[in-house]
Amino acid sequence: MGISIFKKSRGLKEEIDIKEAYNIWSMMRARYHSVDTIQIFKDIAHDRDFIIMLGRLADSWNKFIYEYEAQAVKFKLKTPIRPPYDYRTSAKINQFTDRYIFTRVFNDIVAQLYPLVTAYRTTTTNDLVRKIILNDLKEHVQSFELVYKYGKLKGWMDEPPAYKTAKTVVTEMLTTGEAFHLLDHISHRYHQLQLTKFFLSFAHDKEFRLILNQGVKTLEKETEILQELSLQHEIQLPIRPPHSMLVPVEPETAEDSFMYQAILIGMQTAIDLHVRAVLETIRNDALRKVFYQLFEDELVMHENILKYGKAKGWIIAVPIYAEPV
């Protein structure tokens, strides 16, 4: 469903809020650290294919460094100290094995993803800055996929405990963490379904009601997929919410803006949920694809809902960053 968006303008001058100013600075610092680490390890790694992969990671992160630096210049932000341009040494230190380097790089990628998600969902004022962070987030998850698959191919990934059932033959087993994420996703979907149906009984704005109805359909579709996967792997399903949430009385105190905020927070929680599931699904590739698709779909829906809330004036206003005099 198309939604007309009319951005509020404080004038012709583009602005950012105080959290966005911090997010730009924070992501520059994080990317500087990542590239610095990669460049050191790239110079002492042994395997040629591994060195090429590390170079691809550095190129990807440098691309976003340039974008963050451009925004910092535009808004006259203080910037972090930059690391050295590069490193060169002819020494190959045997104690620094490729497996050790892989583990450090892999853990760094995982650690960087969480503040990146936070930076994305807290950037609400400036759409261009949020788009840069969103693209960085998507590419970072793809980088995780690249490194994860390489490590799995090399046999460098640690194997978590398996989720065991009475089945003697399973096409692709789950780890205990993967089984939990399936259950966690279903529980969250049940909660969001019940909450969205409940809000439908109170919502006043016609367009907002259409959005809630579409949300119910999406949640029900995703829930069916997750339920089927759980049954395939013999994971006990939780109790389902009521089929409908009809409320005969329409209280005037139930404001659309309040319900919108609850829905938005639920979507942002779901983004965090999907990210954790993608990162921790390291045995079952088919299941990780499901979680990754949920993550991508959630980002698209979040963008649409966020822009709709901005047009309605339902987004919490964050103080605008004041440029230094």
* One-character DSSP codes across 157-168: S--PPB---S-S
Tell me what pLDDT residue 257 has: 92
124 and 181 assigned to the same domain: no
Cα R_g (the chain), whole angstroms: 23
Instruction: Give the angle subtended at the CA of 69 by the CAs of 67 and 72, to the nearest 5°.
Output: 115
Q: How many CB atoms lie within 10 A of CB 313?
A: 9
147 and 182 assigned to the same domain: no
42 and 133 assigned to the same domain: yes
Task: Residue 144: give its domain's CATH number.
Answer: 1.20.1260.10
Number of structural domains (the chain) is 2
148 and 23 assigned to the same domain: yes
In a domain, 181, yes or no: yes
| pLDDT averaged per 10 residues, the chain (length 325) | 43 84 96 92 90 94 96 94 76 78 94 94 96 97 94 91 74 87 96 91 90 95 96 90 67 79 95 95 92 96 95 92 71
In a domain, 48, yes or no: yes
In a domain, 34, yes or no: yes
DSSP secondary structure of 109-125: HHHHHHHHHHHHHT--S
Annotate 112-136 with b (16+ C-beta within 10 A) or e (fewer).
bbeebbbbbbbbbbbbebbebbbeb
Tell me what pLDDT residue 202 has: 85
126 and 206 assigned to the same domain: no
Residue 277 half-sphere exposure toward CB, CA atoms < 13 A: 31
Residue (of 281, 294, 291) closest to 173 by Cα position: 281
- Cα–Cα distance measured from residue 84 to residue 256, given in angstroms and rounded to the nearest whole number: 52
188 and 274 assigned to the same domain: yes
Instruction: Name the residue range of residue 66's domain.
Output: 18-154
In a domain, 8, yes or no: no
In a domain, 322, yes or no: no
pTM of this prediction exceeds 0.85: yes
Which residue, chain included where needed, has tokens 């759409």? 127
Which residue, chain included where needed, has tokens 């979907």? 189
116 and 216 assigned to the same domain: no
22 and 150 assigned to the same domain: yes
- Cα–Cα distance measured from residue 182 to residue 267, given in angstroms and rounded to the nearest whole number: 17
In a domain, 111, yes or no: yes
Q: Which residues make beta-bridge pairs with 162?
A: 175
Helix (H) or strand (E) holding 321: none
Residue ending a domain, choose from 120, 154, 188: 154
140 and 234 assigned to the same domain: no
121 and 199 assigned to the same domain: no
